[in-house]
Amino acid sequence: MDTPLIWVVPFSGVLALAVAGYFAWDVLRSPVGTPEMQRVAGLIYVAAVAFIRRQYRTIALLALGGAVLIGAVVYFFEHVEGITSAELAVRTAVAFLVGAVASMLSGIIGMFVAVKSNLRTSAAAQHSIGDALRISLRGGAVSGILVVALSLIGVFVMFLAYNGFGNPSQAPFLIVGFGFGASFVALFAQLGGGIYTKAADLGADLVGKVEAGIPEDDPRNAAVIADLVGDNVGDCAGRGADLFESTAAENIGAMILGVAIYLATQNLAWVLFPLVVRAFGLIASVAGIFVVRGREEGDPMNSLNLGFYITTGLSIVFMALVTNTLLNEKDAWYWFFYAGVVGILTSLAFVYITRYYTSGASRPVREIAEATKTGPATTIISGTAIGFETTAPSVITISVALFLAYSFGARWSEATGFPNGGVYGTAVATMGMLMSAAFILAMDTFGPITDNAAGVVTMARASEEVRNRMDRLDAAGNTTKALTKGYAVASAALAAFLLFSAYLDRVAELTKHPFHTVNLASVNVFIGGLLGAMLVYLFSALAIRAVGRAGSAIIEEVRRQFREHPGIMRGTEEPDYARVVDITTASALRNMIPPGVLAVGAPVLVGILLRAEAEAAMLMVGTMAGVILATVLNNGGGAWDNAKKFIELGELHDDEGRVIGKGTAAHAAAVVGDTVGDPFKDTAGPSLHVLVKLLSTITLVLAPLFV
Amino acid sequence: MDTPLIWVVPFSGVLALAVAGYFAWDVLRSPVGTPEMQRVAGLIYVAAVAFIRRQYRTIALLALGGAVLIGAVVYFFEHVEGITSAELAVRTAVAFLVGAVASMLSGIIGMFVAVKSNLRTSAAAQHSIGDALRISLRGGAVSGILVVALSLIGVFVMFLAYNGFGNPSQAPFLIVGFGFGASFVALFAQLGGGIYTKAADLGADLVGKVEAGIPEDDPRNAAVIADLVGDNVGDCAGRGADLFESTAAENIGAMILGVAIYLATQNLAWVLFPLVVRAFGLIASVAGIFVVRGREEGDPMNSLNLGFYITTGLSIVFMALVTNTLLNEKDAWYWFFYAGVVGILTSLAFVYITRYYTSGASRPVREIAEATKTGPATTIISGTAIGFETTAPSVITISVALFLAYSFGARWSEATGFPNGGVYGTAVATMGMLMSAAFILAMDTFGPITDNAAGVVTMARASEEVRNRMDRLDAAGNTTKALTKGYAVASAALAAFLLFSAYLDRVAELTKHPFHTVNLASVNVFIGGLLGAMLVYLFSALAIRAVGRAGSAIIEEVRRQFREHPGIMRGTEEPDYARVVDITTASALRNMIPPGVLAVGAPVLVGILLRAEAEAAMLMVGTMAGVILATVLNNGGGAWDNAKKFIELGELHDDEGRVIGKGTAAHAAAVVGDTVGDPFKDTAGPSLHVLVKLLSTITLVLAPLFV
């Protein structure tokens, strides 16, 4: 352990646990509100836990099967000097299972904390928006900090366990199974949770708001509890698993790239750099979280932004420290510092891009709001055009960032004579971007917590004043949720090149031949690319259709309850929430399987049939197509959502300057747009992030099958 | 001219002219119907000619500017032995202009014939569906045959003019400008026409059907003439220019690939094969068109299908003849025959795929129709999922076809020892697919003619019986229009590989270095690919938004007329059709510029900044992404369209078996879906076909800038 600064990794882990523990204690000791609030929160808690239990039982079975298959593939196809095939197989399978379990744990933590926090947030909203903000934020922070710390510690421990300090050129390849396990679980967690949350949302909205004409979160709606459960299992548990595997996979990929430079320099720091810089990022994020404070007046977003700027500023300082200390071969460290800054600034750029495209103050949302005046068709057309358009600033930003990070790294290679600086530069940029992961995830989890608390407050028939407070927080939560998705897509895109290079290194390692070329001019490679681009569409089709199907089942059940129990509508009879929860659960779990199997099966099939180079093209073009389609779905959905809010806030006017507000035809059109956007932005889009990462990890782990 | 069978090229040209002349004579001598019909058709004619004149004036100016720029690029950057730079520049610029003029001519022919035919079709519908079918079909055939013959003769004449028989290894490179000129015009023609037609459609539907509650094509709607004009300028003129450039570009690309084998075999036939096989295809198509006959009873589609099968069967026979005669090096011709059959069968496969996804009898359309029961939001969600899903069978079919065609060609190389068989195999498959181009285009133009005739009949207040006849023909026309789009996308995808290879050959020729590798693992190449994928989305965003904008302008004008002239609604006052036509024209022309400039400018910029290899990736990944997105837009739009028709035909039922028909909420939701689908399938989708081809020709011509 003679690498300087490596002690920061365990230190930041302990710090993170302590801070998360403190926040958790702070949240749990807060008052729990009125009995009615507790009753509603209790219903949500029971249903959410039941879903997670059933879902994770299914996922655990799938993961066990996956581990056996992976072990078999490694046993029969991979041969590494100095290790028996059996040991290699067991190590890879164990890494897979550890990654899977850690990812499940992340999901469970995210969900559990959120469910506990939302009740306390609604209780606090009874007297102060500041307290409500503090609690919801700290609840989100527990989850954000723990998930990122778990991913950091998980990779570190696996590295130690597989003798990384003794044999650093092999250990990173041995722990890729960890990343694959994490992706595997994240895929099903995000799919199942995403389908659950949007099916319930769709069902609740269509029968409640549209057919029965009752407001959102009205207790007479039998689907309302399922809807609230959805926020926890989809937005919290799903996103937690997603970011867990993102950080883990990119960390491991960067370590693999570090091996090549380690072999040239004999300096272990090149392999350990990703761990160290992430540890510092965790510290910067914790600092940023501490800065955020709620005030009774003003936009809660201002405080959140300040926290993010603090995290960003600290990240830049830490990046200088770490590159200067670890990557200082021949005094040329600053090239990598520049690359790291590029990554950090990229995350900032995406915050602005996402905000521009999804905020009511800007042109795109206004354009959609104007289009609602001519009905749902023009609303959809306009939102689609906006969604398509958002790919331009996103892709151009990513392209510039990649180009700069690679160029800086290449200049380092020129200056020092060591190889692989360019691609390592992109890895440093990716790690720079991920430094703020804990902060971003904390903000993200804050979103569903406030969303849920707003629901609890409404269900518990709290006063108008309390509901207004929660609505303000909820609006901020919607923004942070959109920002996180932009961040997740951007990091996936930036990481694509590094993970792809790691795959090439891995194939070269397996075949003992250099592998630097994926030639699009070869027909198999072209076909592999074409199939990769197709995969993301077919996958999204299955995910979106799943929401439609599950939503229809919910609609029928709620209609049946209204029909057979007229007392529900009069408020004299309580609807059967549990039955809707059961239907949603069963439907989400059934429908997460086909897209999940497709995502895992397609790359395996293409790799076996068309071999390693075509598989690389599938990975690469699939990643490009996936990142771009996710951008379209996330931002289009977000813009529709906020166009609806824009109208609800009374900011749309007709030619004579009269407000066009709730209850108008324009508002109804906006609701259609919002409903269409829901499965785009909360099911298909986030699932695509996971798919893209899964493509990377699956190809890394199963490469022996394709060479 | 010692290549056997080459006489077929001029022969088929003369034959095509004779047949087209006969059909035109037959159409023009048909009765022109009631004075009211003539009046309506006259309004359409005047407005369509005015639009085409203004549009082509703009395009001509753009093309002149383009020719000067291209000449300058060639003059300063390209150097070919035995030709002065000035002569080379003039030749390329002239080829560009000839291609541009020929493409404009195709558009004008398509539009002119359609406008003349629709009046005579409506007149014939007064007494017989058979006559109406014959006239509309022959009108379509005039356009289909002339466009394809023009493209064939154009390439042949340019080849002769640039001394192809004397210097066959250089001539194909000299005439790539012809393909670029054609693409350039097609791009703006399709964009302008596509925006015009769907903006008018959108405006007419939203104000007429939705707001005022009057039926489609009601003469009280001021936008109705613009809507009918749109069918002619968008569907006829645009598609004519599109298929003209498709066939020309793919023909030239295949000739370039033939050069490599010519150099090895010294057999000119490898360069001339594409011309000869297309000439035979034209003959097969004419035969197929002659077979189609209308009968008073039965589905008109049956007769159309029979014609297509005849064309396909003859194409296979001709393919055997041509490959056996021209490509019979060492008796191994049959490998290329197989490759050609693969192409021919691919066109058949796409007919089935498109029919499955857009026909009311099949699962996807029924699924959307069911979704209309829960409103517009689920209708959109369901249709989006279907649109995404259609990429799977399409891409898998293309992948299999490419793989087989390449493998057959590679086996030929093995058998004979000559190079480049694999990629030539994909060229043969593409040419095989294009053999039926004239038949397909005839069927396609039949669509807007019947659509227009149905409009004329309604506007002229013809009897219920006449209108029913036209509705039956119109339904068949919708199907053929959808099939053509599937065909256009498939041929673009199949041709992508050959055009891409032609680009590599061209760069190799320019640099005198072999260029066989486009390495996705290089960062610039990755960025080029990413930008290519982004380009198709941004381009589509601009095209879709243009429809929305122009549509809004129309809506406001029609509303104004209703408001200021209450007599219009009572039927005592005639609306001001001309003003709506003017507004639509101006708006379409203004809005076609940004996407057009983007499509031309982006590849030039990327090529200059990131150089030839990254440009290749932009071309390739852009093509993949474009083909896939076009599939989504075309098929999604087609499925929505037919889900609406499914409901209007009374085939949707509620749980108790009662028909849910016109005027229900479900039908209103279906109309929303149809309206959303319109700019997808008739503006953005077809424009993407052209964009994809333009990427190929622009990179071919401007390659000297990028090396």
pLDDT tens digits along A628-682: 999 999 999 999 998 998 998 889 998 888 999 888 889 999 999 999 999 999 9
Q: Which chain A residues touch B632 with a CB distance below 8 Å?
A: 537
pLDDT (tens digit, 9 = 90+) per residue, B256-278?
Answer: 999 989 999 999 999 999 999 99
CB contact under 8 A, A529 and B624: yes
Banded pLDDT at A540 (limits 50, 70, 90): very high
Burial class (CB in 10 A: 0-12, 13-18, 19+), B297: exposed
CB contact under 8 A, B523 and A547: no
Beta-bridged to residue A659, according to DSSP, are A653
* CA gap B437, B16 in Å, rounded: 13
CB contact under 8 A, A519 and B516: yes
User: Is residue B179 pLDDT above 80, yes or no?
Assistant: yes
Q: Which chain B residues touch A519 with a CB distance below 8 Å?
A: 516-520
Q: Which of B259, B92, B88, B118 is CA-nearest to residue B180?
A: B92
Beta-bridged to residue A519, according to DSSP, are B519
> Of B392, B423, B517, which is closest to A534 when you measure between CB atoms?
B392
Q: Which chain A residues touch B496 with a CB distance below 8 Å?
A: 526
* CA gap A232, A201 in Å, rounded: 12
Interface mutation target, options A366, A378, A498, A520, chain B, most CBs of B under 10 Å: A520
Q: Which chain B residues touch A538 with a CB distance below 8 Å?
A: 388-389, 391-392
User: Is residue A294 pLDDT above 80, yes or no?
Assistant: no
Residue B382 distance to chain A (closest CA, Å): 6
**A-contacting residues in B 358-377 (Cβ below 8 Å):** 371, 374-377
Q: Do residues A441 and A307 make contact, with C-beta atoms less than 8 angstroms apart? A: no
What's the pLDDT score for residue A287?
94
| Cβ neighbours of A83 (radius 10 Å) | 15
- B523 in contact with chain A, both atoms CB, cutoff 8 A: yes
What's the pLDDT score for residue B677?
94
Q: Which chain B residues touch A628 with a CB distance below 8 Å?
A: 530, 533-534, 537, 625
Query: Which amino acid, residue B327?
Result: L
Question: Nearest residue of A to residue B655 by CA position?
Answer: A556
3-state per-residue secondary structure call for B24-81? HHHHHCCCCCCHHHHHHHHHHHHHHHHHHHHHHHHHHHHHHHHHHHHHHHHHHHCCCC
* CA gap B502, B423 in Å, rounded: 10
Banded pLDDT at A296 (limits 50, 70, 90): low
Banded pLDDT at A335 (limits 50, 70, 90): very high
Distances (CA, A) of A519 to A363, A516, A618, B515: 42, 10, 12, 11
Beta-bridged to residue B653, according to DSSP, are B659
Interface mutation target, options A374, A390, A560, chain B, most CBs of B under 10 Å: A374
What's the pLDDT score for residue B279?
97
Q: What is the mean pLDDT of residues B327-346?
A: 93
What's the pLDDT score for residue A425?
96
CB contact under 8 A, B521 and A531: no
CB contact under 8 A, B625 and A555: no
pLDDT (tens digit, 9 = 90+) per residue, B647-662?
Answer: 988 899 988 889 998 8
* CA gap B203, B224 in Å, rounded: 9
Helix spans in A512-576 (H): 523-564, 567-570
What's the pLDDT score for residue A353?
92
pLDDT (tens digit, 9 = 90+) per residue, B510-561?
Answer: 888 887 778 877 899 999 999 999 999 999 999 999 998 898 889 889 888 9
Please tell me the least confidently modeled range out of A95-99, A214-218, A466-470, B383-387.
A214-218
Banded pLDDT at A549 (limits 50, 70, 90): confident
- B210 in contact with chain A, both atoms CB, cutoff 8 A: yes
Q: What is the CA radius of gyration of chain A?
A: 24
More confident residue, A380 or A245: A380
> Of B391, B523, B526, which is closest to A537 when you measure between CB atoms?
B391
Place of tokens 């259709």: A545
What's the pLDDT score for residue A107?
84
Place of tokens 């034959």: B15
- B530 in contact with chain A, both atoms CB, cutoff 8 A: yes
CB contact under 8 A, B520 and A521: no
The counts of H helices and E strands in chain A are: 22, 0
**B-contacting residues in A 235-254 (Cβ below 8 Å):** none
CB contact under 8 A, B521 and A504: yes
User: Is residue B1 pLDDT above 60, yes or no?
Assistant: no
Query: Which amino acid, residue B572?
Result: T
Q: What is the mean pLDDT of residues A494-499?
A: 85
Q: Which chain A residues touch B675 with a CB distance below 8 Å?
A: 377-378, 381
> Of A530, A620, A671, which is closest to B395 when you measure between CB atoms?
A530
> Of B381, B552, B616, which is closest to A548 when you measure between CB atoms?
B381
Q: Do residues A329 and A418 make contact, with C-beta atoms less than 8 angstroms apart? A: yes
Question: Nearest residue of A to residue B676 by CA position?
Answer: A377
Please tell me the least confidently modeled range out of B212-216, B520-524, B595-599.
B212-216
Name B42's Cβ contacts closer than 8 Å, sequence gap at least 6. Answer: none
What's the pLDDT score for residue B2?
65
- B516 in contact with chain A, both atoms CB, cutoff 8 A: yes
CA A21 to chain CA mean position, Å: 23
Banded pLDDT at A1 (limits 50, 70, 90): very low
- B548 in contact with chain A, both atoms CB, cutoff 8 A: yes
- A529 in contact with chain B, both atoms CB, cutoff 8 A: yes
Please tell me the least confidently modeled range out of A25-39, A244-258, A380-394, B213-227.
B213-227
Q: What is the mean pLDDT of chain B?
A: 90
- Dihedral of CA atoms A19, A24, A30, A36 in degrees, nearest 10, equals 150
Please tell me the least confidently modeled range out of A109-118, B594-603, B615-624.
A109-118
* CA gap B416, A473 in Å, rounded: 74
Please tell me the least confidently modeled range out of A256-270, B290-304, B581-595, B658-672.
B290-304
- A675 in contact with chain B, both atoms CB, cutoff 8 A: yes
Can you state the angle between helices A523-564 and A577-648, rounded to 10 degrees? 110
Q: Do residues B676 and B684 make contact, with C-beta atoms less than 8 angstroms apart? A: no
**A-contacting residues in B 582-621 (Cβ below 8 Å):** 616-617, 620-621
% of chain B surpassing 90 pLDDT: 53
What's the pLDDT score for residue A2?
65
| pTM as predicted | 0.94
Residue B139 distance to chain A (closest CA, Å): 34
CB contact under 8 A, A518 and B521: yes
- B518 in contact with chain A, both atoms CB, cutoff 8 A: yes
Instruction: Supply the DSSP symbol for B653.
Output: B
Burial class (CB in 10 A: 0-12, 13-18, 19+), A15: middle
Cα end-to-end span (Å), chain A: 35
Q: What is the mean pLDDT of residues B268-290?
A: 95
CB contact under 8 A, B541 and A672: no
Q: Which chain B residues touch A496 with a CB distance below 8 Å?
A: 526
**A-contacting residues in B 551-580 (Cβ below 8 Å):** 551-552, 555
* CA gap B469, B442 in Å, rounded: 21
* CA gap B21, B15 in Å, rounded: 10
Give ∠ CA B202-B304-B145 in degrees, rounded to 5: 80
3-state per-residue secondary structure call for B146-175? HHHHHHHHHHHHHHHHCCCCCCCCCHHHHC
* CA gap A501, A419 in Å, rounded: 14
More confident residue, B510 or B67: B67
Instruction: Supply the DSSP symbol for A418.
Output: -
What's the pLDDT score for residue B112?
85
pLDDT (tens digit, 9 = 90+) per residue, B116-168?
Answer: 899 999 999 988 888 898 899 899 999 899 999 999 999 999 999 998 888 88
SS3 B221: coil
* CA gap B23, B138 in Å, rounded: 6
What's the pLDDT score for residue B22?
94
**B-contacting residues in A 424-453 (Cβ below 8 Å):** 426
User: Is residue A344 pLDDT above 70, yes or no?
Assistant: yes
Banded pLDDT at A378 (limits 50, 70, 90): very high
CB contact under 8 A, A548 and B371: yes
% of chain A surpassing 90 pLDDT: 53
- A46 in contact with chain B, both atoms CB, cutoff 8 A: no
Q: What is the CA radius of gyration of chain B?
A: 24
Banded pLDDT at B169 (limits 50, 70, 90): confident
